[in-house]
Structure 1
Amino acid sequence: MVTAIGRRRFLGWAGAGAAAVLAGTGAWDAGVAAAAPRATRGTDPFTLGVASGDPAADSVVLWTKLAPEPFAADGRGGMPDRPVPVLWEVADDERMTRIVRRGQVLATPELGHSVHPEVGGLAPDRVYHYRFRVAGPGGAVSPVGRTRTTPRPGDTPSSLAFAFASCPNWGDGHYTAYEHMVREDLDLVVFLGDYLYEATIDETKRGQTPPASAVAEPTDLASYRTRWALYKSEAPLQAAHAAFPWITVFDDHEIENNWAADVSEDDDEPDQDRAVFRARRAAAFATYYEHLPLRAAQLPKGPDMRLYRRLSYGTLADFTMLDTRQYRDDQSCGDTWTTDCADRFDERRTILGAPQREWLLDGFTRSKARWQVLGNQAPMGLTDREPGPVTEVNTDPWDGYVADRNRVLGAAADAGVPNLVVITGDRHQNYAGDLLRSFEEPGSPVVASEFVGTSISSKGDGEDVGEQLRAIQEATPTLRFVNDQRGYVRVDLTPGEWRSSFRVMDRVERPGGSLSTRAVWAVEDGRPGVVPG
């Protein structure tokens, strides 16, 4: 009989270092794997699927999480309180007959039995397939996933195709958009935040009842895990993860609506303690890492997580992923739509924090890429919703942090960044717009472009252009296109042109919705600002 592995012995294994093993990225002794107990009691441990992410020219991170009972109220997913060895394989073919890399990692209770092996030694700009297996006799085998490495750092590929998406609110509709996304010929997917929503699920538009363990608003490790399980169990989402490598960042709802650094949405309530919110943030960050294909560099340290990072696609594009939540000042003027808020112009206020902002600006001057892509959470450009002389904006996006917006866009202009394009989520609406050096100065030049993508399902079916959105477009001349349906944005990028195709659903509240291209907007090389495609 094999006994449970003691924590001291577990931490003593250090073939790749204890930290790497804890992160689910480190290899360990194969002899132990052969004798390891079966951990899943004869049920499927791969209920949450497989994924890959953060691709590089020679490597990619793979992901899975063992959870034969994903909605178990204790948050353990039906797994034992001990490490479980997991084998991974990468092949040239979908049938997994030409194996090019293989290894073993430990799925540990500390990380909810998730694993994140970082597979190196791969060829650039190449499609690979991968799978996992629970080690030991009769170990369960995962579905096969597909991934792709990026071109060599000095190469300029002729094209890049990717989609960006955000905001799949489970209660508001079905994830049919992902079913259509899987049929696209994409190199990668960029996810811009609100992977899940934290509010109590009182009722749903999709006509389905969630498991009891996933209904209440999550505040601790177990409840965040069951909420994640609800979202990750969606078959269309699993298929999209298995089809393409993803680059992900969070926004607010993965933790709590409109949080700002150490400040909870409920910070103005007398009983709200910032230490309590930091504990909640730590639980949310832990489960964010547990459920996504992130590298060890993104492993949280309590309530802190380094998520801003830069990924290159040869010299065609640099993807600079921002974190506009963790380092920001609290929202000004009551965190709402307002026509009278002098604080939003305060030079001391920041949405990025000084270290991240300096890192971003330094990247502008160092990059050799033709296109600079900022993965951003909430609209950077002006979104005024009051036609006429009065300006009414929301202080949660960059409109509430005007000085930081002007610093970033001004620095890009001064550095001569040839093609700066911001891709954004959060708003549950589609926009194509111009970014000015300063929206407060008449005649300020266009220095960049922004494409805001709608939600996968949040807000339900939607419509082409509703009353509020019509007012925003009328009041904001820099917004050239608006739309209020669900879906995602497909981007086709070449050295000479960026083309954004707004892919919209006719419905999401009922399954089986159809997809169409509502509009195409483009950016021409060396000419900032959007033009009809």
Structure 2
Amino acid sequence: MPISRRALLTSAAGAATVIPLAGAATPYRGPLRTDPFTLGVASGDPSPDGFVLWTRLAPSPLAEDGLGGMPYRTVPVVWELAADERFRKVVRRGVAPARPDRAHSVHVELDGLAAGREFFYRFRAERWISPVGRTRTAPARWAREPELAMAFVSCSQFEHGYFTAYRRLAEDAPDLILHLGDYQYEYAPDTYNIPGGNPRDHEGPETVTLANYRQRHAQYKTDPDLQAAHAVAPWAVVWDDHETENNWADEVPEQPDPNFLARRVAAFQAYYENMPLRRASVPKGIDMQLYRRLHWGRLATFHMLDTRQYRDDQGCDDGYKDCPAASDPARTITGAEQEAWLLDGFRRSTARWDILGQQVFFGQRDNNSGPQKVLSMDSWDGYQGSRDRITRGWVDAGVRNPVVLTGDVHAHWADDLKLDWNDPTSRTVGTELVCSSITSGGDGADVASGNHSWAAWNPHLRFYNNQRGYVRTRITAESMTADFVVLPYVTRPGAAAHTRATFVIEDRVPGLHKIADNPTPGVAQRSAAPAEDTVRQETERP
């Protein structure tokens, strides 16, 4: 159908909210000669009456200027939302502008939809039609939803392997996917290498400029396995460090860099452009609002945290340290405003499960069997005052079932959370589930015992495995079941997925109960002394 100038500037009343066109370039009137939907489609941040639909036009996605081969003109994009996959029952339709100053990304923020429903969506730019995505609204705020299938992932280093884990996740078809950081990596090719060499290479230099970040995001989005995972369910995303730069902390870069704040502005803009985020997250200079809540009826509340943008610099020059700064109660990993927001959320919660979606290890991991604790300064161990205030906050608020979800460390972990880390016999007050990486660190290896050697003096560490994968959960009123899914290899495509272990958290009973342990058949096993923990590839630039 022809698209008028008026249709481009306005959408149907109540249909959607789009980024305004103030200062937009002249509308594009020429033909798009090749398919612009090379980066797929996505949806995110579901609410009871809506969600965000996303795509980005890029017929040449690896173009060095970061604009994906698009002309510097605005292109009208038609979007459709349907109740069925064949689009026989279209429930909404509209037009959104793909603008060059947003890298021709499209964010359609819908509301007014029925709660707890499945929908399908697609986009059209001139004669080109995008792939179809599946999404859903959250249940009504006070609905007693019987169950939620949720999966969470982190750390997808393109160079270190193939994104088969994303494909296996897509085949599970969950209701909701959380990405907990390190969606993409900033390194130049052949800089961050795994033993035996990287099976794939990054395009372009280390990401510093807006063009660099746009190009890098586009390279990741061209992966068909990642596209499949985005298209199967709504996502809720938060970043860690590599979306900007390794181990940054607020306005402090890893290494001295007078241009870091400009780099941060570029990274934040590209992140927004390439993620299905609401307009509340549009960056404002060096700031971007990323912490937020998602409610899944009365069953679960997801508190999505940002532990990078507001933290104090890591203590004692970072790494694993015996560091006095770690116990300084004045130091923070969340910042005062986000901490207050989180504690208020605990006090107001009426959910059966309060789930923290965040980036770095929450529980204590002492790397030293002796009397002196050697801890990771990049994790919550380096900000013990923050951890104590938040843990005591959920205890004092009477949170029914607190669960912390974590990424970052390139391995599966599960641990019980204590109120007093100096007393191993103190009561358990929560649970942490840590997902391995999608690819970061390469193939890894199965750990036959399912335990890390550190568990000998950290008895709250209940599970460990060093293969790649993700965590799949089933949440009901009675329990939360977590499957630690692994792949035997990622340095070549096509691996089958396997549930390495299954744990359950029972309602009102904090802590883990193992119900299945399945060492991966036919693959090498190893003792629990992983490279990621001894050389800290996540916290020290290779």
Question: Normalising by structure 2, what TM-score?
Answer: 0.89
**Structure 1 contact 435–448 (Cα < 8 Å) conserved:** yes
Q: 2:221: which partner in 1? A: 232
Within the candidate set 288, 291, 308, 1:305 is matched to: 288
1: CA distance between counterparts of 2:204 and 2:451? 31
From 311, 318, 331, the counterpart of 2:314: 331
In structure 2, the residue matched to 1:187 is 175
- CA drift of 1:121 comes to 2.1
1:102-150: per-residue Cα shift (whole Å, max 9, x none)? 111111111100010012221111110000011xxx5311111110111
Describe the SS at the equivalent of 1:238: helix
With over 3 angstroms needed to count, the CA separation of the structure-2 counterparts of 1:430 and 1:94, relative to structure 1, is: same
CA distance in 2, matches of 1:316, 1:470: 33
Specify the code of the residue in structure 1 equivalent to 2:514: P
CA shift for structure 1 position 467: 11
Q: Distance in 2 between matches of 1:441 and 1:346?
A: 19
Tell me if 1:125 matches 2:116.
Answer: yes
What CA distance in whole angstroms lies between the structure 1 residues aligned with 2:502 and 2:448? 20
Tell me the distance in 1 between the aligned counterparts of 2:229 and 2:474: 18
SS, match of residue 117 in structure 1: strand
1:363 is displaced (CA, Å) by 0.2
- Give the paired residue count: 503
Alignment partners' CA distance in 2, 1:109 and 1:27? 11
Contact 1:87 1:132 in 2 (8 A): yes
CA distance in 2 between counterparts of 1:87 and 1:26 reads: 16
Note the 1:251-266 alignment, pairs <5 A. Answer: 251-266=240-255
Q: Which amino acid aligns with 2:421?
A: F
2:233 corresponds in structure 1 to 244
Q: What residue is the counterpart of 1:167 in the other structure?
A: 155
The Cα offsets for residues 248-268 of structure 1, whole Å up to 9 and x where unpaired, read as 00000000000000000003x
**How far apart are the structure 2 equivalents of 1:524 and 1:303?**
42
**Matches of 1:126 and 1:26, distance apart in 2:** 28
DSSP-derived class of the 1:390 partner: coil
1:467 and 1:147 map into 2 onto residues whose CA distance is 39
Instruction: Report the CA distance between 1:373 and its aligned residue.
Output: 0.4
Q: In the alignment, does 2:101 pair up with 1:110?
A: yes
CA–CA separation in structure 1 for the residues paired with 2:220 and 2:388: 37
Mapped pair 1:510 → 2:492: yes
In structure 1, what is the equivalent of residue 29 of structure 2?
37
2:522 is matched with none
**Which amino acid counterpart does residue 394 of structure 2 have in structure 1?**
A
1:202 maps to which of 186, 190, 194: 190
What secondary structure sits across from 1:421 in the alignment?
A: strand
Alignment CA distance shift 1:467-1:442 (3 Å): closer
Match for 2:312: what amino acid?
Answer: D
Tell me if 1:387 matches 2:369. yes
Instruction: Please say if residues 18 and 109 of structure 2, whose CA atoms lie closer than 8 Å, have aligned partners that are also in contact.
Output: no
State the distance in 2 between where 1:371 and 1:36 align. 48
User: What SS does the aligned partner of 1:358 have?
Assistant: helix
- Say whether the 8 Å CA contact 2:310–2:333 is kept in structure 1: yes
Question: Offset of 1:362 from its aligned partner?
Answer: 0.1
Q: Tell me if 1:482 matches 2:460.
A: no
Of residues 55, 72, 91 in structure 2, which corresponds to 1:64?
A: 55
State the SS of the aligned residue for 1:171.
Answer: helix
Does the Cα contact within 8 Å between 1:466 and 1:484 map onto a contact in 2? Answer: no
Distance 1:201 1:466, change over 3 A: farther
Q: Counterparts of 1:236 and 1:315 in 2: how far apart (Å)?
A: 33
Q: Tell me whether 349-358 or 391-400 shows the greater mean CA deviation.
A: 391-400
Q: Distance in 2 between matches of 1:403 and 1:39?
A: 58
- State the alpha-carbon separation in 2 of the partners of residues 441 and 14 from structure 1: 62
| CA deviations over 1:205-252 (Å, ceiling 9, x no partner) | 6865547xx231010000111111111110000011011110000000
State how far apart, in whole Å, the 1-side matches of 2:107 and 2:367 are: 44
Between 255-264 and 185-194, report the one with greater CA deviation: 185-194
Equivalent AA in structure 1 for residue 298 of structure 2 = T
Per-residue CA deviations over 1:178-204 (Å, capped at 9, x if unaligned) read: 111111141010110000011112176
Partner residue of 2:347 out of 365, 368, 374: 365
User: Residue type of the partner of 1:121?
Assistant: G
| 1:458 corresponds to | 440
Q: Compute the RMSD of aligned alpha carbons.
A: 2.4
Identity of aligned residues (%): 49
Counterpart contact for 1:39–1:79, Cα < 8 Å: no
- Structure 2: any 5+ residue segments left out of the alignment? 516-542
Q: How many Å separate the matches in 2 of 1:169 and 1:379?
A: 19
1:290 to 273, 283, 289: 273
Which whole-Å CA distance do the structure 1 matches of 2:269 and 2:393 have between them?
A: 34
Alpha-carbon contact 1:49-1:142 (below 8 Å) kept: yes
Q: For 1:528 and 1:64, how far apart are their aligned partners in 2?
A: 40
1:385-441 superposed Cα distances (whole Å, 9 cap, x missing partner)? 222433221100000000000000011111111100000000011111111113134
Q: In structure 1, the residue corresponding to 2:260 is in which secondary structure?
A: helix
CA contact (8 A) 1:166 1:192 kept: yes
Measured against aligned partners, the alpha-carbon deviations of 1:307-334 in whole angstroms (never above 9, x if no partner) come to: 0000000000000000000000000011
Measure, in 2, the Cα distance between the counterparts of 1:281 and 1:186: 33
Q: Relative to structure 1, is the Cα distance of residues 38 and 51 closer, same or farther in structure 2, using a 3 angstrom cutoff?
A: farther
Amino acid at match of 1:115: V
**2:260 alignment counterpart:** 277
Residue in 2 that maps onto 1:344: 326
Maintained 8 Å contact 2:160/2:198: no
5+ residue gaps, structure 1: none
Which residue of structure 2 lines up, in the alignment, with residue 220 of structure 1? 209
* CA–CA distance in structure 1, aligned partners of residues 141 and 278 of structure 2: 19
Q: Give the aligned partner of residue 80 of structure 1.
A: 71
Gap change, CA 1:278 and 1:529, over 3 Å in 2: same
- Separation of aligned partners in 2, 1:469 and 1:290: 40
Which amino acid in 1 is paired with 2:353?
A: W
Distance 1:254 1:466 in 2: 33
Determine if contact 2:158/2:200 at 8 Å carries over to the other structure: no
Structure-1 separation of matches of 2:471 and 2:133: 23
TM-score using structure 1 length: 0.90
1:497 aligns with 2:485: no
